Amino acid sequence: MIGKGPGYIFIAWTENGSVYAHCLREDGTLGAPDVSSSDCTADDGTDGVELWGECYSIENTDTLDLHGIGFFETGIPPEIGNLTNLTYLDLGENWFEGEIPPEIGNLTNLNYLNLGNNGLTGEIPSEIGNLTNLTYLDLEWNELTGIPPEIGNLTNLAYLSLGNNELTGIPPEIGNLTNLNFLGLWENILTGSIPSEIGNLTNLTHLYLSSNELTGEIPPEIGNLTNLMDLSLGYNQLTGDIPSEIGYLTNLTGLYLYNNQLTGEIPPEIGNLTNLTGLYLYNNQLTGEIPPEIGNLTNLTGLSLSGNQLTGEISSEIGNLTNLNHLSLGYNQLTGEISSEIGNLTDLMDLNLGENQLTGEIPSEIGNLNNLGTLLLNDNHLTGSIPPEIGNLYMLDELNLSNNQLTGEIPSEMGNDASMLHWMNLSSNELTGEIPPEIGNLYYLDDLNLSNNQLTGEIPSEMGNDASNLMILNLSNNQLTGSIPPEIGNLDGLDNLNLSNNQLTGEIPESICNLNIDWSLDNRFNISNNQLCPPYPFCIEDYVGEQDTTNCDQVYIIDGTLPICYTLHNAYPNPFNPVTTIRFDLPEDADVQLLVYDVLGREVAELVSGRVLSGFHEVIWDASDVSSGIYLCQLTTLNSVITNKMVVVK
C-alpha cells in the first residue's frame, strides 16, 4: 500500500500480524521503519504486541522490567522493536540465547537498557547506535563478539558495561562517550592497544579493562582522567613504563596494573595518589628501587609489588602506611635489613617478603603485628635467631622462615597453645637444640617442616598429642636421637611422615600402623638412614629403607626368627571394612586361642584354636558377616591373655 501523510509519502505492508511502514525519501530510498502491530489488544484497549505470552500496549508501554524472570533457551523476539515508546528495558538474568535483534535500534526513546547475564551471541548490532538517548547500557556476561563503531553515537551514556563477553578490539569511537562515568570491558579477548582517545573520557570514575589481551603501552592520555577512582588494567600484555602522568589521578582509590609486562621504574609521582587504598603492581618486570614517595600513601590497605625485579632496600617510609592490611614485596631482588618500622603496621594481616636477598636479623618488632595471619620471610639471607616475640602472633595461620641462615634454638614461645597456626616451615636453616615440647600445643597445625637443620635430642612425645590435626610432619636431615615415641600413633590424620637421615635408634613402635599413610610411596613415608632396629611393624617392614643396625640387640641379628615375648599386635588396618590382618608372636610352642568378641562379651569369631609353633604369625579376619562397631581380639595361652580393640566401619 502506498499512501500520503502530512508532508511525506509512505509505503506499508503487513507481515505475521504486524504492520510495517517506511517513509519514502525524495531520492526513492526507504527511511527507517515505523513498526506497529495488531498482534493483540492491550488491557487499556490500545493496539499491543505479544511478547512471552503477554500483551503490551505499543502506545502506553514506557517501562518493561522482566529482570530474572527466567526465559530459558529462548531468544529476544524482534517484535520488541515495536515498543517504540519504551524508555526503560531490563531483560537481564534471563539466559536468553541467540543474537540481539537489530530491531532493538527502533527503541530510540530508551534511557536504560539491560541485557546482561544472558547467553546472547553474535555481534552487537550496529543499530545500537540509534539509541542516542541511552544513559545506561549493560550487556555484560554474555557471549557477544565485536563492538560496532556506532557505539560512539551514544554520547549521553554514563554507564557502559560490556564485561565477560568475547569482544575483540576497542574502537577509537569510544572516545566520543565523554559523559561516561563507568566503562567496563573486563574479561573479554580485546586485542591491540588502549586507544589514546580514552583520554577524552574525562568524566570517568571507573575504568575496567582487566583480563584481556591488550598490548602496547599505557597511553599518557590516561592522565587526563582526573576523576578516576578505579583503574584496572591487570591481566593483559601491556608493555613499557608506567606513565608519570598517572600521578595526576589524585582521586584514585584503586590502581590495578598487575600481571602485565610493564618495565622501568615505579614513577615517584605515584606518591601523589594519596587517596589510594589499593596499589597492585605485582607480576610485571619493574626495576629500580621502591620510591620513598610510596610512604605518602597513608590510606593504603593493600600494597603488592611482588614478582618484579625491584632492587635496593625496603625504605623505612613503608612504616608510615599504618592502615595496611596486606603487604607483599616477595619475589624481587630487595637487599638490606628488614626495618624495625615494620612493627608500626599493626593492622597487617599478610606480610610477604619472601624470595629476596634480605640480610640481618628478623626484627623483634614483628611481634607487634597482632593481626598477622601470614608471615613469609623464606628464601632470603636472614641470620640470627628466631625472635620469641613471634609467639605473640596468636592469629598467625601460615609461617615460612625456610631457606635462610637462622641459628639458635626454636623458641618455646612458638608453641603457644592459643595459636591458630596451621602451617609452619622452618626448614633449611642452621637451627640447633631440641625441638621444644610446646610444639605439641599447636592443635590446629596441619603441616610442620623442620627438616634440613641441626636439631638434636629426641622427638618430644608431646608431638603425638591426640588432639592434634597434623597431616604432614617432616623432621628429616637433622641430628635427632632416641626412639620414635609411640605417641606418634595418635596422629590419626597424618598422611605424610619423613624422619629420614637422623640418628634415631631403638624399635619402631607398633602404633605407627595407626597412621593413615600409603607406606609404599616414598614421598609419603620415609624413615631411611637411621639406626632403627628390627623387628619392624608389619605395616612398614618392606618400607624401612637403609638402616644401620650395628648397635641393635645381637639376639635379633643372630636369630631374628624367634620373638622374645608373647605379643598381640594391633590389627591393620584399624578401623577397617571388611578385612584386617591380626599378627601375634609366640616365643615358644603353645596352645593358642585367638577369638573375637563384641562389646557385650559374645564370641563372634574363632580365628585360631590349637597348638601353634613359636614364631611370628598372622591371621586374616573377614568381618563381612558382622555389623559396624567395636570388637575385641583376645590372644590366650597358658602364660598370658592379651586383648586389643578393633573397629569395623561399614
Other beta carbons within 10 Å of 491:
24
Cβ-Cβ contacts under 8 Å for 66 (sequence gap 6 or more): 52, 90, 91, 94
Q: Which three cell numbers stand for residue 526?
A: 620415609
Measured over the CA atoms of residue 340, residue 342, residue 345 and residue 351, the dihedral's sign is negative
Distance from C-alpha of 558 to C-alpha of 419, rounded to nearest angstrom: 50
Distance from C-alpha of 151 to C-alpha of 132, rounded to nearest angstrom: 9
Angle at 165 between CA 164 and CA 171, to 5 degrees: 110
CA atoms within 13 A on the CB side of 119: 11
DSSP 336: S
DSSP 560: T
pLDDT attached to residue 545: 84
| DSSP three-state, residue 57 | strand
- DSSP readout, 626-644? S-SEEEEEEEE-SS-EEEE
Q: Which three cell numbers stand for residue 446?
A: 596441619
For residue 99, pLDDT over 90 is answered with yes
Burial of 169 (0-12, 13-18, 19+ CB in 10 A): middle
Domains and CATH numbers, the chain: 567-648 (2.60.40.1930)
Task: Give yes or no for a contact between 224 and 246, defined as CB atoms under 8 angstroms apart.
Answer: no
For 157-165, what is the mean pLDDT?
98
Count of positions (residues) in the chain: 650
pLDDT in tens, 448-476: 999 999 999 999 999 988 767 899 999 99
Distance from C-alpha of 174 to C-alpha of 199, rounded to nearest angstrom: 10
Cβ-Cβ contacts under 8 Å for 100 (sequence gap 6 or more): 76, 115, 120, 122, 124, 125, 128, 139, 144
Cis previous bond, 171, omega within 30: no
Angle at 388 between CA 382 and CA 393, to 5 degrees: 100
Q: What is the 3-state secondary structure (H, E, C) of 237-283?
A: CCECCCCHHHHHCCCCCEEECCCCCCCCECCHHHHHCCCCCEEECCC
pLDDT attached to residue 169: 84
Distance from C-alpha of 527 to C-alpha of 537, rounded to nearest angstrom: 13
Alpha carbon of 585 to those of 133, 553, 573, 582, 617: distances in Å?
92, 18, 18, 11, 6
Average pLDDT, the chain: 91
Give the helix/strand (H/E) hosting 557.
helix 554-558
Give the helix/strand (H/E) hosting 617.
strand 615-622
Among residues 564, 529, 563, 565, which one has the least CA distance to residue 549?
529
pLDDT attached to residue 552: 73
Distance from C-alpha of 423 to C-alpha of 442, rounded to nearest angstrom: 10
For 90-96, what is the mean pLDDT?
94
For residue 12, pLDDT over 60 is answered with no
Q: Where are the extended beta strands (E) located within 83-142?
A: 88-90, 112-114, 121-123, 136-138
Measured over the CA atoms of residue 112, residue 115, residue 117 and residue 123, the dihedral's sign is negative
Other beta carbons within 10 Å of 225:
24
Phi, psi at 24, each rounded to 5°: -100, 115
Q: Where residue 331 falls among pLDDT bands split at 50, 70, 90?
A: very high
Other beta carbons within 10 Å of 511:
18
Residue labelled with grid coordinates 567496563:
184
| DSSP three-state, residue 320 | helix
Measured over the CA atoms of residue 315, residue 319, residue 321 and residue 324, the dihedral's sign is positive
Residue % of the chain over a pLDDT of 90: 77
| DSSP three-state, residue 466 | coil
Angle at 154 between CA 200 and CA 173, to 5 degrees: 45
Task: Give yes or no for a contact between 148 and 126, defined as CB atoms under 8 angstroms apart.
Answer: yes
Cβ-Cβ contacts under 8 Å for 449 (sequence gap 6 or more): 402, 424, 425, 426, 427, 472, 474
Give the helix/strand (H/E) hosting 618.
strand 615-622
Residue % of the chain over a pLDDT of 70: 92
Angle at 274 between CA 272 and CA 279, to 5 degrees: 95
Residue labelled with grid coordinates 527502533:
106
For 210-239, what is the mean pLDDT?
98
Between 72 and 52, name the one with better pLDDT.
Answer: 52
Distance from C-alpha of 20 to C-alpha of 437, rounded to nearest angstrom: 88
Q: Where residue 28 falls among pLDDT bands split at 50, 70, 90?
A: low
Q: Which three cell numbers stand for residue 214?
A: 591488550
pLDDT attached to residue 561: 56
Between 146 and 423, name the one with better pLDDT.
Answer: 423
Q: Where residue 524 falls among pLDDT bands split at 50, 70, 90?
A: very high
pLDDT attached to residue 581: 87
DSSP 592: E
Query: pTM for the whole thing?
Result: 0.80
Q: Where are the extended beta strands (E) located within 273-409?
A: 278-280, 302-304, 326-328, 350-352, 374-376, 398-400
For 288-316, what is the mean pLDDT?
97
- DSSP readout, 468-525? ----EEE--SS---SPPPGGGGG-TT--EEE--SS--EEEPPGGGGGS---TT-TTTE
pLDDT attached to residue 557: 37
For residue 259, pLDDT over 70 is answered with yes
